[in-house]
Amino acid sequence: MLVTRYSPLGTKMFFRLIADNFARRPRRKVLTGAALALGMAVATATLSVSLDIGDKLAKEFRSLGANLVVTPEADSLPLEIGGVDYRPVNAGAYLPEADLPKIKSVFWHNNIIAFAPILDISADMELPQDQPEIAQVVAQGGSTWQPQRTAMVQVIGTWSRHEVDLRDGSKFLTGIEQTNPWWRVQGRWFVEGKNECVLGKNLAERLRLGVGGKFRSLNVEKQALPTDCEVVGLLETGGSEDDAAIFPMQIVQQLLYKPGQYRKLYVSALTKPEDDFARRDPKTMTPSEQERWSCTPYVSSIAASIKEVLPGSDVRVIRRVAESEGKILTRVRTLLWLVTFASLLAAALAVGASSAASVIERRTEIGLMKALGAGSATVGFLLVAEQLLLAFVGGCLGYALGLLLARFVGTKIFGVPPEPSLLVLGVILVLAAGVTLLGSALPLRRAATYDPAPILRGE
């Protein structure tokens, strides 16, 4: 009698066997697919949030204030303790305001979201005649109170909603409101070109001035400006600015006879948290490493690019802000990766358990295929194809569920859901295939080594 040996599977027969297996065991396949879909859903959500978290957190971190400070290089004697700069600001060299538009011409110009120059002095503030006199303690053999109509105050000149003309003809709106968004103002900020100012909360209480109040003039040596300046806002920062008066930059420049110049510049830039590579000295890097460093938005590389376009400047990183951003972002991303790993591990275990049970149930079928001439490679290929099909279905369902979960998480944390990404879909399908093959590797290996004779004898 002629025995026909098992021939290689044709395409039609191959898909028929797979479809038949799914039809005969739908419950087990549904449970396995559900476990796989849930694991991929969690992975999709965490990956989607993780891809957006850098930009989202960077924007949130900008509420901490500027992360770069620019000062004249002639005053660059380092005096920084604990991330706080203790160098004097009201003495030494100055930088030209005309160079500031160049900041928006550097390679990372889109990452620079705001900058504001600072110029501060000490001045005498003269109150109007109808303003109550200020009481001051004067030692004259004993403590007595002597009224006065002038007070020595710290005056800060800066920009508020200032339009910078860029080289391409566009305008860039910037100012202290953007670099220090955590400053709270009761009332409003001054309008440049008008005799308006904002007083620190403590100074306003000392001078008995509120919103709508006025004073006659500021006096620095023989220069007096402006006349009848109106207080339009009260500032609260929790810092030294609460005892200062904030004026338009042009007014303070006139008081100092320094038109178009400033002493310090605060820059707020979106950056990538620094790693060990970013903290290396660029002078010790190879050309390829320098290119990689300069083409990554590290705060140090952005500082270097700003220094190149501002001659005579010293650009430094405000470490307490930059390091806080890096630590928080690293911890959040680590948590997301741990959640992703846990979900993938749970999916792999579920797939492994289901695959092992399926192989045991199909021992007779596998034995018969081998008895008819199918080799271990053919049997293994068929079983792997069934698992990959299951991985594709579970991965697509998991991706769809994960987008909903990512939308919920993103909205709750950042107020904005992450955008769907085809890259994430590709990664999820690859992960689904990898998890499925990893979980079913041991059962499939056992199935490929089955000896058909004992199986067909019922042993």
Structure confidence by residue, pLDDT tens digits, 88-98: 544 568 999 99
Q: Give exposure, 207-218, as e/b (b: 16+ Cβ within 10 Å).
A: bebebebbbbbb
Which residues fall within 8 angstroms of residue 457, CB to CB, at 6 or more apart?
Answer: none
Does the pLDDT of residue 224 top 80, yes or no? no
Look at 3-7, 179-183, 276-280, 294-298 and tell me which has the smallest mean pLDDT. Answer: 3-7
Q: How confident is the model at residue 376 (pLDDT cuts 50, 70, 90)?
A: low
More confident residue, 226 or 140: 226
| pLDDT of the residue at 63 | 60
| pLDDT of the residue at 134 | 52
| pLDDT of the residue at 138 | 39
| pLDDT of the residue at 350 | 81
pTM exceeds 0.85: no
Confirm if 381 and 369 have CB atoms less than 8 A apart: no
Q: How confident is the model at residue 101 (pLDDT cuts 50, 70, 90)?
A: very high
Does the pLDDT of residue 457 top 80, yes or no? no
| pLDDT of the residue at 307 | 92
Does the pLDDT of residue 257 top 50, yes or no? yes
Q: How confident is the model at residue 264 (pLDDT cuts 50, 70, 90)?
A: very high
Q: Which of 103, 101, 95 is CA-nearest to residue 261?
A: 95
| pLDDT of the residue at 142 | 42
| pLDDT of the residue at 199 | 93
Chain-centroid distance, C-alpha 212? 39
| pLDDT of the residue at 415 | 67
Does the pLDDT of residue 150 top 80, yes or no? no
Q: What angle do CA 421, 422, 428 make, to 5 degrees?
A: 95
What is residue 157's three-state secondary structure?
strand
213-221: average pLDDT? 78
| pLDDT of the residue at 135 | 44
Helical spans, DSSP H, in 137-216: 176-179, 201-207
Does the pLDDT of residue 380 top 70, yes or no? no
| pLDDT of the residue at 240 | 87
Q: Which of 100-104, 284-288, 291-295, 452-456 has the highest mean pLDDT?
A: 100-104
* Average pLDDT value over all residues in the chain: 78
Look at 168-177, 239-248, 320-329, 361-370 and tell me which has the smallest mean pLDDT. Answer: 320-329
pLDDT in tens, 167-201: 888 999 999 988 988 889 999 999 998 889 999 99
78-85: average pLDDT? 51
| pLDDT of the residue at 50 | 74
Give all strands (DSSP E) within 201-317, no chain letters.
Answer: 214-215, 217-220, 223-225, 229-236, 244-248, 261-262, 264-269, 313-317
What percentage of the chain reaches a pLDDT higher than 90? 17
Q: How confident is the model at residue 104 (pLDDT cuts 50, 70, 90)?
A: very high
Give all strands (DSSP E) within 74-181, no chain letters.
Answer: 80-81, 84-85, 95-96, 112-126, 134-139, 143-148, 150-158, 162-165, 171-174
| pLDDT of the residue at 306 | 93
| pLDDT of the residue at 15 | 64
* CA–CA gap between residue 148 and residue 150 (Å, rounded): 6
Does the pLDDT of residue 120 top 80, yes or no? yes
Q: How confident is the model at residue 214 (pLDDT cuts 50, 70, 90)?
A: confident
Sign of CA dihedral 425, 427, 433, 439: negative
| pLDDT of the residue at 34 | 83
Does the pLDDT of residue 8 top 60, yes or no? no
| pLDDT of the residue at 249 | 94
| pLDDT of the residue at 92 | 63
All structural domains of the chain with their residue ranges: 11-59+327-456, 67-317
Q: How confident is the model at residue 412 (pLDDT cuts 50, 70, 90)?
A: confident
